[in-house]
């Protein structure tokens, strides 16, 4: 028979020993990864953008959404330690990921490897010139009036013609109004008149220095009803400008839209520039 003292020691030892439980779950955090540049570059190969109904414009990018879903699956499958959750956020073309710190580093490395240093991007410069009913045109000499109306009837202007249009048509209230927006090819970006929102989506045509651009406007109907979207489609050679007319606030605003194709500086060159600036 065990002595009482030995039994007491054995019981106290058992009570003091830690319970055999599972290790605590590792700490995780949520990060949002913008991947529009990876999933949308080839997404807009549509026969005629102008025939896509406005309400289907976002949904219609089935290839973009499919590529986003494939990338979500790739991220989830390639991680050494599986993430707690990976979700594709279609509205922003992003991946929402809950993972550990090490897991996030692994994802960042994967996305970095998928990107190329020379992936082109786009800048669009929007400049309002006038309203079609502007008295500014009527105040011009007859010869310049004729030239102004001729430029307004064009869909595209060369760089020289665009400069001429600015000189002839820009109303004083629009003189210092110029808006630059940067686009990832295939991704919709907002811009426009404060009272009437608009969106732009564009892509670079393969093997060219041309941009295919779709503009979606909110417009006013002549019977005081609001038409949700009016769309215009342009194919603009770099260096040229498109002339876009937007019925807005009781008058038609004429916009001059100029695309620029941007090529990011390679990472090594960018770092060299930063080092040069920081050096005494």
Rounded distance, CA 136 to CA 138, Å?
5
What local confidence, expressed as pLDDT, does residue 167 receive? 92
Q: What is the pLDDT of residue 106?
A: 92
Query: 66 in helix, strand or coil?
Result: helix
pLDDT at 101: 92
Is the Cα dihedral 96, 99, 105, 107 positive or negative?
negative
| Distance, CA of 90 to CA of 87 (rounded, Å) | 9
| Tens of pLDDT, residue by residue, the chain (280 residues) | 545 554 454 445 544 445 444 567 789 999 999 887 677 644 444 445 455 555 554 444 566 778 889 999 999 988 888 888 999 987 677 899 999 999 999 999 898 888 765 455 788 999 999 887 777 888 889 999 899 999 989 999 999 999 999 999 999 988 888 888 877 776 677 777 666 678 888 888 877 888 988 888 876 655 555 566 778 889 999 899 999 988 766 678 899 999 998 876 554 554 444 344 344 4
Q: Report the 10 Å Cβ neighbour count for 256.
A: 22
Q: What is the pLDDT of residue 46?
A: 45
pTM for this entry: 0.56
At 4 the pLDDT is 55
- Predicted pLDDT of residue 56: 54
SS3 state at 153: coil
pLDDT of residue 60: 45
Q: E-strand spans in the chain?
A: 29-34, 85-89, 94-99, 121-131, 156-157, 179-183, 189-193, 196-204, 210-220, 226-237, 241-248, 251-262
pLDDT at 225: 58
Task: Check residue 250 and give its pLDDT.
Answer: 61
């Amino acid at each position: 028979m065990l002595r009482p003292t030995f039994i007491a020691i054995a019981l106290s030892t058992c009570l003091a020993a830690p319970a055999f439980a599972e290790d605590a779950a590792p700490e995780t955090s949520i990060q949002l990864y913008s991947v529009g540049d990876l999933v949308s570059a080839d997404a807009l190969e549509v026969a005629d953008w102008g025939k896509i109904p406005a309400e289907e414009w976002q949904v219609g990018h089935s290839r973009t959404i499919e590529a986003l879903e494939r990338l979500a699956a790739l991220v989830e499958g390639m991680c050494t330690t599986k993430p707690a959750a990976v979700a594709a956020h279609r509205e922003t073309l992003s991946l929402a990921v809950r993972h550990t710190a090490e897991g996030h580093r692994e994802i960042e490395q994967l996305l970095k490897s998928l990107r190329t240093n020379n992936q082109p991007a786009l800048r669009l410069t929007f400049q309002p010139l006038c309203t079609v009913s502007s008295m500014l045109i009527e105040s011009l000499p007859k010869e310049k009036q004729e030239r102004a109306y001729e430029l307004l009837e064009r869909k595209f202007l060369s760089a020289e013609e665009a400069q001429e249009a600015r000189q002839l048509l820009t109303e004083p209230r629009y003189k210092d109004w110029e808006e630059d927006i940067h686009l990832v090819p295939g991704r919709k970006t907002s811009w426009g008149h404060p009272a009437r929102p608009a969106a732009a989506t564009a892509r670079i045509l393969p093997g060219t220095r041309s941009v295919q651009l779709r503009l979606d406007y909110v417009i006013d109907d002549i019977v005081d009803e609001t038409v949700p979207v009016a769309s215009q489609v342009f194919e603009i050679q770099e260096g040229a400008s498109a002339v876009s007319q937007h019925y807005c606030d009781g008058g038609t605003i004429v916009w001059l839209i100029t695309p620029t194709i941007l090529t990011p500086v390679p990472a090594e060159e960018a770092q060299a520039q930063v080092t040069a600036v920081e050096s005494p």
